[in-house]
Every structure is written in C-alpha cells, then in structure tokens.
Chain A
Amino acid sequence: MKKKFTIVDAAIVVTLIILVALLLAPVLFPESSLQEIADTNGDGKITLSDYDGKKIGSITGVNYDLIINKYVPGSTVEYYSNYPDLVVALKAGIIDAFIIDEPALAAIMMEDPEVSQVPENMSSWLMSFAFSEKSKIPNLYNNMNSFIALIREDGVLDEIKDIWFGDDESKKVIPPLDDLTGENGTVKVALETTYAPIVYMKNEQVVGYEADILYRFCDHYHYKLEFVDMQYDAILPAIATGKCDIGASGLECTEDHAESVLLSTPHLEAGTSLAVLASDLLETNNAPAIGTGKSFSERAMSSFEKNLVTESRWKLIIKGIGTTCLITVLSALFGSIIAFGMCLLRRCASKLANPVLDAYVRIIQGIPLVILLMILFYVIFANSGIESVWIAVIGFSISFSAHAAVIMQSGLDSIDAGQEEAALALGFTHNQAFFRFLYPQAALRFLPVYRGELVNLLNNTSIVGYIAVQDLTKMSDIIRSRSYEAFLPLILSTLIYFVLARIITVVVDIVLKEISPRRMRSKGGEKA
C-alpha cells in the first residue's frame, strides 16, 4: 500500500528547511563580532587593555577570576562548560574573547585559523591531578607525587611536553590501555575529553599530555587505567564522592579545590592567554576576512572532512548512536514493564497501593531528569562499580515508568466499567477480562500519547553526558572539540535524532495498526 503525502509530512519538510536555513545562515553569511574592537590606546596594536570592558568567556572548571581582575577588570565574564563552546561563541560574536591556558590555545589555533592570541602574557597557573580521599587503592596519591618528582628529575616530563605541545602528529600516540598489566588494581580517571592537547579524543582513544603522564604512571606502578569521560563540572564531585580515583583535564592547584579533594604536586605551569578573533588583530579593517577565499562547496567539503573523516571521527557518531539507542530502547522496555506492573498493582492490590504509587509518580515527575541521574550516579550507585550507561538506563527507566504509568492508567480509566462487567458476566475471570478486553482497548487509546513520550525519552537521553556516558550528543561535542566547528556536528546530530524519532513513531504506528480492530475488517474486505 502506498502512503499518501499528507499535510503533516509537508509541515515536517517545511520545518526542516527552516531549521537548515537557520543553521546555514552563519556559514553562508559569516559575520564578525558585533562589537568592533578598536585600538583605544593608540599604540598601533591591539593589546589586552583594548578588551577591558568587553565580554570575556571563561571555562567553569578553572578559576580565572583573579587573572581577569588583574588584566581586564572592567569585563563581564560568561562561563562555558568546554573550550569548543567558547570557540563557537567567539566566532559567533557572543563573546569578544576568552581566557585560556597557552597549550590549549595553541592547539585550537592549529586547527582553527580564525582564532588567535593577544600577544601578551598574563599570570600563569599550576596544573595538578585531583585525588579522592575515598579511593580504595592504597598510596595512589603519594605514588603520583613521587612519580611527578621522578619524571621532572629525569627529563621525561619535558619530553612529554615536547610531544603533546609540539606539532609532530605522529608522535602523539598512547599505547592501548589493554597493554597495562594492572596487578595493583584499576585506576579510574575522571576527565573531560574536549581539551586538546591536555586530554582529548583521537582515533576513538583518549590521548593528550595528561593522558600520557597517567599512562606512564600506571605502567610504572602496575595499575590498570580506565578513563571516564564526563562534563567538566562533574569531575570534582566524582572525585569527592569516590566515584573515580583521579581527576584530570587541567585542574588548577588552588585552595578551593584542595578542600574537597587531594591535589598532587603540580606537573605544569600553564601560561594564560586571551584568545580572540584573528581578524581583530589585523591592523586595518579592509584586510580580507579569513575563509572568504573559499567557495561554499569547498568549505562544506573541508567541514565534512574535518568533522567526520579525519581520525575516523564518524566512528564516534556511530558509537554515540548505538549508546543513545541502547539507553532509549532499554529504558522504554523496562520503564513500560514497571508501568504495566504499576497498573496491575492498582487493579489487584489493596487500597494502600494507590497512595504509594501516586507518591512515586509525583516524586519522580517532580525531580528534574538531570538531577535524578546525578543522584543515582553520585549518591546511590556511587561506589557500586556499575557502568554509567547502566545507571543511565536505570534513571531513564524510572523516569519513563512514572510517565508511562500515568499514560497507561489514563487509558485504562477511559474504558467503560461495563466492558469488564460484560466479560465477568460471560464467565471470564478478572484477569482474563483485563488482558483480553480492558488492556487492548486501553492500548488503542494510550498508544498515541505513549508514542510522544517515547520520542521525549529519546530526546531526553541527550543529557547523559552529565554522568559520563558518551551518547550521540556527547560524541558530537567531542567532534566539535576537535574541529572547532558547530554547524556540521550540530546539524548532523539534529538529523540523526530526527530520524530516530521517526523510526520510533513508525514502529508505534505499526503496532497501533496491528492491534487496531479495523485491521481485521479491512482483511475481511479484501477477502470478499
């Protein structure tokens, strides 16, 4: 049977076109920062003081306030959770500059010629690893301090710096983690992998300056090494609660941090720079803007190349889709089973069950999903060793069960009591009446709403990055962190989510058609 092109389809197409057009606009009409940066002190150069009073971006995990107060005290500060977002915000003109450590800025500038550095150094800061007081591995903290002292002595630390802060890509490798023998236990490291060259993803592997130190450390002390990728803000809580043993990705050695965790002796003194648009630094305004030399198709090709082909980044997307689908499908399944069980309980159990179930639904629906996940991750399953994907499945199952139970119950409530009485009067038992007549009829009514809730579930899974799960959204963040480009990764994940949502809709529609009584009649009609 051929499906007709309906108004709904037309509306979807129009919406998609508008969406693409909106996303495409900044690419087609690249625009520079809203506020012109001018050489105010008239020394013929753009300097730090020219950015005073402007909007400066900063990462949430490092405390740059002192430095900002010292050099650009009149600025307003906006906080971002990772460097790729800062780059995108800078290029979009949302901020005028952002503050960043020198190695990271160098890495960004290598990838993205539109970003440059104000050639003036600010105060530097000390980078350490954070350690959990609750770690089960004995002496881990002391071992790291001795190890840092050791490699500082014998020059290995400088070697590592040369590798990762230099430009020989071929040297930037870390042996597979499986090569570690691990007689002395497994070290779990919490980190954020959008922070080149300190820690980042390359060829689906966590690499970088700190990753290298950690690898050598574990090799030296015979530990196994496990990287747990999470949001920047989540790293210190993960260490404080003992969820992970070591925290990495450019943690500053400050007294603030030292209160909740142990900090190793610093392994790097990072200079601080102000990242700005390269075009700001050109002395005249009529210089050609960067990137305009290329045609649109060339730009599209290079964007495609950077985001998907280089280092097989498309594989990250595939992995992300797998994780997103796994969480969605399992949560929908378990959530629906729990919801169904709740409906059965309401039917059979004593009156006591109802207020308990109502309370469950109200509590779960009242907790924001992110917080529910965090509670599961940091409190309830903090030391359980359960992988974070499964914690996500548990969280979403619980949340979905509350929504699905309400949906199913409203479907059941809408069935006339006469249906059950008629079944009983014919000699069916209560259970037979429920499974043969009540539930199938209710399903016909609640499935359209349930379908919408499934799509919601799919879209909501995009927050699992908070608990260190690498789903589709997180993978697209990782790609953005390497390509410093927002357009392609975002539009691609939008399209993928859209397609997944369509698949859910189509599957539920098939089920709906399958159980709809009309189906049998149309079959009968064909026979006739």
Chain B
Amino acid sequence: MSMIVVDHLRKEYPNVTPLKDVCTEINKGEVISIIGPSGTGKSTFLRCLNGLEQPTSGKIYVNGEDITSKKCDITKIRQKMGMVFQSFNLFSNLSVLENVITAPVNVLKMPRDEAEKKAKALLLRVGMLEKADNFPDELSGGQKQRVAIARAIAMDPEIILFDEPTSALDPTMVGEVLTVIRSLAREGMTMIIVTHEMRFARDVSTRVFYMDEGVIYEDGSPEQIFDDPKNEKTMRFIRHLKTLSLDITTASFDFIGMSTKIGVFGQDNLMTPKMIRNLNLVFEELTSATLIQRPGTLPIHFEVEYSNADESAKVTITYEGDAYNPLEDEDSLSASIVNKLCTSSSYSHDDKNTIVLTLS
C-alpha cells in the first residue's frame, strides 16, 4: 500500500490558486525531489501533506487515513512526519540539545535520559554534538539546519518533508546540509525534498516532480526529467535556471568579485573547468580590457545562460554608446582571443549595442 495518496488536491487562496489538481502516490523508501518555478505551490503542497494548510478540496491519505477529515487526529500524523523548513525555525528559547529532545519528551513522553542519549547520538551524526549546549542564535545557517534535521529525526518519523532546506544558506554551507540529507537517503529514509539544487536532486532522488501550473506537470526518474524531459515547459525550466547576470555600472567595478561569481556559477552547474576558464576570459577581455576603456559604454550588462543538456553557454553582452563592435577590431588582441574561444558570435545595434556569443 502506498504511504501517501494525494487525490485531486486543490488549494485556493483569496487571490491565487497554487494547487489546482494534484494527484500522486508516494511509497515507502522513495526520495522525491520537487522542482519548479517560484510560486507554483511547492511549499503549499508540502504543507498540505502534514496539515499545516487545509486543502480547499481533494483528499490526502497517509497510511490509509484521510488527514483532511475532521475526525483525523492530525497531531498523531505529524509525529510520524518530520518537516525541515527553509528558515530552520529552531526554538530560539531552547538550547540545541533541548530543541532535539523537546518533542520526544513532551509529545512522545519518552523518558528524559533516554531522549538525551538518543539526541546526543543524532547530534553526533549531524556533526553538532559539540554545540549541544549552545543556543540557535549562536550557530551558522548550515549548523542550524543540521540541528533542525536532527530534531526531525529524533521523532523517528516515517517520512521527512524538506522545504528548500538550503535556500537560506551561504553557498559554502550548502554542502554540509546536503551531505546529511544524502546519508539519510542512503539509509532508506522516505523523503520529499523541495529544492533548487538540481545536481543534488539528480544524485539523491529516486523520483522527481516538476511542478507548474498548479499540478505535478511532469513526474519521472531524475534521468528522465533532467536529460529527456517530455514537456517543453520542463525543458525550459531545467535550462533557464542556469543563468547568471552581472551588471557593471562604474569603471572601478569589483572585477575579482564578479569573476568569482562566474566561477561559483560554473561549479554549481557542473561546468567543465575549461568552460569556466573560457567564460572568465571572455568576461575579462570584453569588459575590463576593451569596453571599459571606451567612454560612454557604461552600464554594461553581462549574462550567461548555460544549458546542461548540450553543455553550451550563451553569453549576451549589452552596453551603451555609439555603434561599436570590439570583435571586429583586427588589431586588438582581445578580439582575436574571444573569436577563437566561441563557436559563433553576432553583433547588433539599435538603441544599445548587443553581442551574443556561444561557447561550448
């Protein structure tokens, strides 16, 4: 029997209807990633699953019990269904250890020493034991999220819901949280993870939902969704997610900072080191080496669109000033370097100058 059955779920708010008609079944042991554009009801869907939101219509069965019915004791269901939030939501008046034991002790009535022993083991596992006596506001984002995960596991849930667990984190802290979730996946924990980390979703899940237009728009294995999406919308989402735009407004802009952003963007999207290097070269040669030197070109907009599927990058540069194409300047070293790197290039000028390059 399926662990969770969602039957024509609909959720309306006064001015939007994020969930129009969601139907699915979720089985024990599955790790489901939910991806999709912002505002398409991913969080709303998760919150309906544990009763934090009341559906407008439709039914949700958890282990056969209809949680939308008035007779259902939702607190019992929630005890078996952990939830990890984007903003951690650790209890700020409790220490790390107490955050983990409060629900087992007060809800499950577990003896305190047993709960503490278990909590310490869990904290050790997420690498947070040495902070057991600290308070949430003394932890970094990644540490808070690891504690929040330990707090959810302490209830021995049958399933854990993650709502963008890494979205509020610095890039440097994302890894530590994902590692913990990965290890849970390896142990066979049933999980539903709303995430924007495509690479992670691809590695860790057994199934991916692409949500859009109030429904589960596409449901399939990670390979199928990421490499061979059936729907045009899914494909566009998977590609377009990988865009980076940089704006240069002064001649003394933060060159190092922007180069670093390109590097991070490349790594996040699994680009080859060569591709990252080439993007950086194009950026340097066209902005600081040429356009910046010319009066009247500011502001300059630099945008990279990367497609994982064919591993190609499209670079679009727009800038102000008279018609001027630096790539046609035959004496320039920059022009020859850039022309060598890209597979195609085009230039146009209407009220602004636009250069479009393709790298692969």
Binding site for B on A (CB under 8 A): 416, 418-419, 421-429, 432, 436-437, 440-441, 444, 517-518, 520-521, 524
Contact = CB atoms under 8 A, between A and B. Distances in A.
A520 B79 CA distance: 28
Contact of A437 (B50, B93, B151): B93
Interface string B51-91: 01000000000000000000000011011011101011111
Given A427-B79, A427-B155, A524-B133, A517 B85 contact: no
Contacts of B52: 421, 424-425
Contact of B78 (A424, A444, A517, A524): A424
Nearest to B82: A425
Contacts of A427: 75-76, 78-79, 103, 107-108, 155
A322 B215 CA distance: 70
A395 to B, nearest CB: 35
A521 B79 contact: no
Given A441-B92, A520-B95, A421 B85 contact: yes
A419 B85 CA distance: 10
Contacts of B85: 418, 421-422
A440 B87 CA distance: 20
A517 B93 CA distance: 6
A286 to B, nearest CB: 75
Contact of B91 (A423, A424, A429, A520): A423
Contacts of A432: 106-107
B75 A428 contact: yes
A416 B89 contact: yes
B103 A419 contact: no
B107 A428 contact: yes
B333 interface: no
- Interface centre among B52, B91, B102, by most chain A C-beta atoms within 10 angstroms, is B91
B134 interface: yes
B89 A517 contact: no
B133 A426 contact: no
Contacts of A517: 92-95, 135
A156 B108 CA distance: 85
B135 A521 contact: yes
A524 B92 CA distance: 17
Nearest to A437: B91
Interface in B108-157: 108, 133-135, 148, 151-152, 155
A432 B108 CA distance: 13
B78 A518 contact: no
A422 B91 contact: yes
A521 B83 CA distance: 27
B83 A419 contact: no
Interface string B269-296: 0000000000000000000000000000
B93 A418 contact: no
B79 A518 contact: no
Given A428-B106, A436-B102, 12 more contacts: A422-B89, A424-B75, A424-B78, A425-B50, A426-B79, A427-B155, A429-B75, A517-B135, A518-B135, A520-B95, A521-B133, A524-B133
A440 to B, nearest CB: 5
A426 B133 CA distance: 21
Nearest to B90: A422
A441 B90 CA distance: 12
B168 to A, nearest CB: 11
Contacts of B81: 425
B293 to A, nearest CB: 50
A227 B85 CA distance: 67
Nearest to B161: A425
Nearest to B108: A427
A440 B75 CA distance: 22
- Interface centre among A421, A426, A428, A436, by most chain B C-beta atoms within 10 angstroms, is A426
A440 B88 CA distance: 19
A83 B357 CA distance: 97
- Interface centre among A418, A421, A425, by most chain B C-beta atoms within 10 angstroms, is A425
A426 B98 CA distance: 14
Nearest to A516: B93
A205 to B, nearest CB: 54
A517 B135 CA distance: 8
A375 B88 CA distance: 52
B83 A440 contact: no
